[in-house]
Amino acid sequence: MAHLFNRNVLVGVSGGIAAYKSAELVRQLQELGASVRVIMTRGAREFITPLTLQALSGNPVHTELLDPEAELGMSHIELARWADVLLIAPATADLLARLATGRADDLLTTVALATAAPLVLAPAMNQQMWRDRATAANVATLAARGCKLVGPASGEQACGDVGPGRMVEPPVIAAAVAGIFENGLLDGRRVVITAGPTREALDPVRYISNHSSGKMGYALAQAAVDAGARTTLVSGPVTLPAPDHVRVLQVESACEMLDTCLELLPECDIFIACAAVADYRPGAVAQQKIKKGPDEINLKLVRNPDIVATVAAGRERPFTVGFAAETHELLKHAREKMLRKGLDMIVANDVSDKSIGFNSDNNEATVLWPDGEQVLALSGKGAMARQIIQLIAQRLASGEH
Ligand code: C5P
The confidence band for 358, taking pLDDT boundaries of 50, 70 and 90, is: low
Judged against a pLDDT cut of 90, whether residue 372 lies above it is answered with yes
Give 60-110 as a DSSP string.
PPB--SS-HHHHHHS-HHHHHHH-SEEEEEEE-HHHHHHHHTT--SSHHHH
Rounded average pLDDT over 249-278: 97
Residue 157: the pLDDT is 86
Residue 359: the pLDDT is 57
272, β-bridge pairs: 193, 321
What is the 230 CA–ligand 1 centroid distance (Å)?
A: 23
Catalytic annotation present for 159 = yes
What is the 226 CA–ligand 1 centroid distance (Å)?
A: 25
Residue 356: the pLDDT is 54
The confidence band for 360, taking pLDDT boundaries of 50, 70 and 90, is: low
The confidence band for 364, taking pLDDT boundaries of 50, 70 and 90, is: confident
The confidence band for 68, taking pLDDT boundaries of 50, 70 and 90, is: confident
Catalytic one of 159, 255, 268, 274? 159
| Among candidate residues 67, 73, 57, the one with its CA nearest the CA of residue 12 | 57
Burial of 310 (0-12, 13-18, 19+ CB in 10 A): middle
- What value does the mean pLDDT of the chain take? 93
Judged against a pLDDT cut of 90, whether residue 115 lies above it is answered with yes
Rounded average pLDDT over 295-307: 96
Rounded average pLDDT over 346-365: 73
In percent, how much of the chain has pLDDT > 70? 97
Could you say which DSSP state residue 197 is in?
A: B
214 CB less than 6 Å from ligand 1?
no
Mutate to test the pocket of ligand 1, among 280, 308, 332, 351 (most ligand atoms within 8 A of CB): 308
Query: Rounded to the nearest 5 degrees, what angle is found at the Cα of 97, between the Cα atoms of 93 and 103?
Result: 135
What is the 275 CA–ligand 1 centroid distance (Å)?
A: 7
Rounded average pLDDT over 85-108: 97
Rounded average pLDDT over 200-204: 97
Lowest mean pLDDT among 204-218, 326-340, 372-386: 372-386
The dihedral through the CA atoms of 129, 135, 136, 140 has a sign that is negative
223, β-bridge pairs: none
Domain residue ranges of the chain, discontinuous segments joined by + = 8-179, 190-398
Judged against a pLDDT cut of 70, whether residue 325 lies above it is answered with yes
Backbone angles phi, psi at 210, to 5 degrees: -145, 180
What whole-number distance in Å separates Cα of residue 203 and Cα of residue 335?
Answer: 38
The confidence band for 232, taking pLDDT boundaries of 50, 70 and 90, is: very high
Q: Say which CATH superfamily domain 190-398 falls into.
A: CoaB-like (3.40.50.10300)
* H or E element, residue 234: strand 230-235
185 CB less than 6 Å from ligand 1?
no
The confidence band for 194, taking pLDDT boundaries of 50, 70 and 90, is: very high
What whole-number distance in Å separates Cα of residue 8 and Cα of residue 5?
Answer: 9
What whole-number distance in Å separates Cα of residue 90 and Cα of residue 165?
Answer: 10
Judged against a pLDDT cut of 70, whether residue 1 lies above it is answered with no
Write out pLDDT tens, residues 139-171: 999 999 999 999 999 998 888 889 999 999 999
- Please give the residue that has the higher pLDDT: either 244 or 21: 21
What whole-number distance in Å separates Cα of residue 194 and Cα of residue 200?
Answer: 16
Q: Do domains 8-179 and 190-398 have the same CATH topology?
A: yes
Atom of ligand 1 nearest to the CA of 194: 12
What whole-number distance in Å separates Cα of residue 54 and Cα of residue 26?
Answer: 10
Count Cβ neighbours within 10 Å for each residue of 373-394 and write b for 16 or more, e otherwise: beebebbbbbbbbbbbbbbbbe
349, β-bridge pairs: 325, 365
Atom of ligand 1 nearest to the CA of 322: 10
Q: Which amino acid is at 188?
A: G
Atom of ligand 1 nearest to the CA of 341: 8
What whole-number distance in Å separates Cα of residue 315 and Cα of residue 217?
Answer: 25
CATH number of 8-179: 3.40.50.1950
Rounded average pLDDT over 227-232: 94
324 CB less than 6 Å from ligand 1?
yes
| Among candidate residues 176, 174, 178, the one with its CA nearest the CA of residue 2 | 178
Write out pLDDT tens, residues 172-184: 999 999 998 887 8
pTM over the 0.85 mark: no
